[in-house]
Structure 1
Amino acid sequence: MSNDSGLFDVWEASDWTDSSQCLPSVGGATFLIMAYSAVIAIGLLGNAGLVFIIARQQELRNVTNILIANLSCSDILMCVVCLPVTIIYTLMDRWVLGEAMCKVTPFVQCTSVTVSIFSLVLIALERHQLILHPTGWSPAAGHSYLAVGLTWLVACFISLPFLSFNILTNDPFRNISLPANPFSDHLVCMELWPSDNHRLSYTTSLLLFQYCLPLLLVLLCYLRIFLRLRRRRDMLERSRRTQGAQRINIMLLVIVVAFALCWLPLNVFNTLFDWHHQALPDCQHDAVFSACHLTAMASTCINPVVYGFLNSNFQRELKLTLQRCRCGHRAAESYENFPLSTVGSEGTTKTTSLTRPQITSIPTHSS
């Protein structure tokens, strides 16, 4: 899930010889450049706007929104570092960015994806706690900042092998049997593991702990939330506040499902490549990878799009921010009566400590 198989492959020289005979179409390359550029623009502007509004408005800085902002930060990192590299590689068809970027790019992508999925897990766990156990312990804003820091720390640790085993080399091009080898001075960024068993163990572990198990846990949390909310029968529990909680849960679940669907094709591709890459046709390999990778990168646009369409507080703040012309002027607005991260299941509404008057405050995630 974390590595760009088209950029950081473990191909044999014969694979490069065969694929070098498959010339990329100009139209296909142009489409990819335009598509990646659109994803970068939407991902950067949307996520940056989301983080700006959450950071600027005290009322929006609750536990769920801090985690949503953390998810947006990981998407911004992906847009700034990984997507431009993909566009450059598509244009140049070889690695021209130096050894440091060869190691940093897959490390950043793995870290960003890990932070995204961990953020989705934390959001689901917080919703689960607040709705199934409304009178019990509830996380405060300080806990979310601590969770954010731990998430980035763990994600960086998980991604460390890419710094160690990604190398810059021209070995795959040395043995190409052509009368005049035009690729002799070309470099490729590839993974060089001590053995195939080490590589397969790591990539399979990533698939399990970075995709399958987290999403299973998230879906289990939302399933229990759904079942609890469906058991509410009396009129009090069918109030606007409860309807708002249901809408928020739907919004968060949509973000999770969209993230899972976006990353599914690339995970399938990487798994097939790791275990039986000969099954992938040579001339279609890059095209299939590009389609899968572009779908995964589209996940960076999900958060602001879904959040913007389904959260009225965000829409209101966005309009006010765009309409505000005078410095320091802030139009009066009325927020919804329920905080985004805090609706109990028994007719009780609980707020995070960040929104309580006596506490002053001082964010992340996500084929």
Structure 2
Amino acid sequence: MSNNSSFHGSWDNYTCPASVGGATFLIVAYSAVTAVGLLGNVGLVFIIGRQKELRNVTNILIANLSCSDILMCVVCLPVTIIYTLMDQWVLGEAMCKVTPFVECVSVTVSVFSLVLIALERHQLILHPTGWSPAASHSYLAVGLTWFVACFISLPFLSYNVLTDDHFQNITMPANPFRDHTICMEKWPSNQHRLAYTTSLLLFQYCLPLLLVLLCYLRIFLRLRRRRDVVERSRKARGAHRINAMLAVIVVVFALCWLPLTVFNTIFDWHSQALPVCQHDVLFSACHLTAMASTCVNPVVYGFLNSNFQRELKTQLQRCHCGLGAPESYESFPLSTVGSEGITKTSTLNRAGSVSAVPLPRAEPSVSTYS
């Protein structure tokens, strides 16, 4: 899932006509994605960090997801649009190495966080009276996730280099591309590159999402068998709705990254199948779709989670007017709702979101209000 092809260039592209309309669209689209993803995720982290009652296992993992998205918005999106539009690398060797490294780290952290959320939800629903993780465990898991993600991404620091070799052998009376440089991966051998990119495909996309799918399938089957009990509890019905919403978030995340994953796989194994002049267009479309995943959390929790809306409104009132005390809302700890509708712990929050249910690409949990 890492952006392998975004840092490869081809001097053949100079024969392809440039599109002013396409460049304008990319600037507007990337700017919109960056703005929504950055502001939305910063808001989520701010609200979770400000309210001590929200610092439960699920919300800590949700905040971790938002942090990885913020990193993507700050580093990768601006660099990608600059490189795509200029068709050469102008940001120096350090950024050539750091940008793909950061993108790989961010994607890995996001996927692993989704897995942790799904595993926590699986434990709480299928084993409501068994062991449940504490907040200290989630901090440890977050630290381990970032460490593993950095370790997995280290090859990008070693094998991404600046080069102008592709432009030196152009047979033209005057070579206008002699000073052009590109940022690309330069591996010891093609076999090393294929081994690494295929491993990323398996451990950064396919296997994690398969594990998440299995977790939520088991949750769905357990809740379906217990439907008669669940329907007697309003709180349990709310938990069921949250499960469905978080499942949608996982599906959206997987679909957003699917086009770029397919593109990179084709590029790695059969790059000749990609048309020369349409290469950048296809990559930009796939990459933009993948980057849209950074907006999923803010959009879902901004428009579908009334708890988050009211918490945000309360914070804005405090910042701008200093008026309006937070209202009281009835909420329930969704991350601790068991399959039999029994909660293991109870942490009702005032004027804020509640425990969320562990699921991929989730955000501050959702609660219901009477």
State TM-score, norm by structure 2.
0.90
Distance of aligned partners of 1:326 and 1:28 in 2 relative to their CA distance in 1, 3 Å threshold: closer
1:142 corresponds to: 136
Residue range with higher mean Cα deviation, 183-192 or 331-340: 331-340
Distance 2:319 2:3 in 1: 44
Are the equivalent residues in 2 in contact too, given 1:62–1:339 (CA < 8 A)?
no
Query: Which one of 225, 232, 255 corresponds to residue 219 of structure 2?
Result: 225
Distance 1:229 1:40 in 2: 38
Distance 1:328 1:56 in 2: 16
3-state SS of 1:167 partner: strand
**1:344 aligned to 2:335?**
no
**1:259 aligned to 2:253?**
yes
3-state SS of 1:189 partner: strand
2:108 corresponds to: 114
Distance 1:147 1:45 in 2: 26
Query: Which one of 291, 316, 323 corresponds to residue 297 of structure 1?
Result: 291
Structure 2 unaligned residues grouped into runs of 5+ = 350-359, 362-370
Distance 2:235 2:185 in 1: 52
How far did 1:86 drift?
Answer: 1.2
Are the equivalent residues in 1 in contact too, given 2:64–2:113 (CA < 8 A)?
yes
Structure 1 unaligned residues grouped into runs of 5+ = 356-364
**1:161 aligned to 2:163?**
no
Query: Which one of 23, 26, 39 corresponds to residue 29 of structure 1?
Result: 23
Query: Which one of 124, 127, 134 corresponds to residue 133 of structure 1?
Result: 127
Query: Which one of 237, 246, 263 corresponds to residue 240 of structure 2?
Result: 246
How far did 1:19 drift?
Answer: 2.0
Deviations 1:266-301 (A, max 9, x none): 000000000000010111111001000000000100
Distance 1:353 1:324 in 2: 24
2:49 corresponds to: 55
Distance 2:227 2:196 in 1: 48
State TM-score, norm by structure 1.
0.91
Which runs of 4 or more aligned residues in structure 1 lie more than 4 Å from their structure 2 counterparts after TM superposition? 325-330, 352-355
Residue range with higher mean Cα deviation, 238-247 or 226-235: 226-235
Are the equivalent residues in 2 in contact too, given 1:141–1:353 (CA < 8 A)?
no
**Amino acid in the other structure paired with 1:249:** N
How far did 1:84 drift?
Answer: 0.6
Could you say which structure has the greater relative contact order, defined with CA pairs below 8 angstroms and 6 or more residues apart?
Answer: 1
Distance of aligned partners of 1:326 and 1:303 in 2 relative to their CA distance in 1, 3 Å threshold: closer
Identity of aligned residues (%): 81
How far did 1:128 drift?
Answer: 0.3
**Amino acid in the other structure paired with 2:64:** N
Distance 1:223 1:166 in 2: 40
Distance 2:132 2:87 in 1: 51
Distance 2:70 2:319 in 1: 27
Distance of aligned partners of 1:302 and 1:167 in 2 relative to their CA distance in 1, 3 Å threshold: same
2:274 corresponds to: 280
**1:316 aligned to 2:310?**
yes
**1:209 aligned to 2:207?**
no
**Amino acid in the other structure paired with 1:91:** L
How far did 1:324 drift?
Answer: 2.5
**Amino acid in the other structure paired with 1:133:** H
Distance 1:248 1:47 in 2: 20
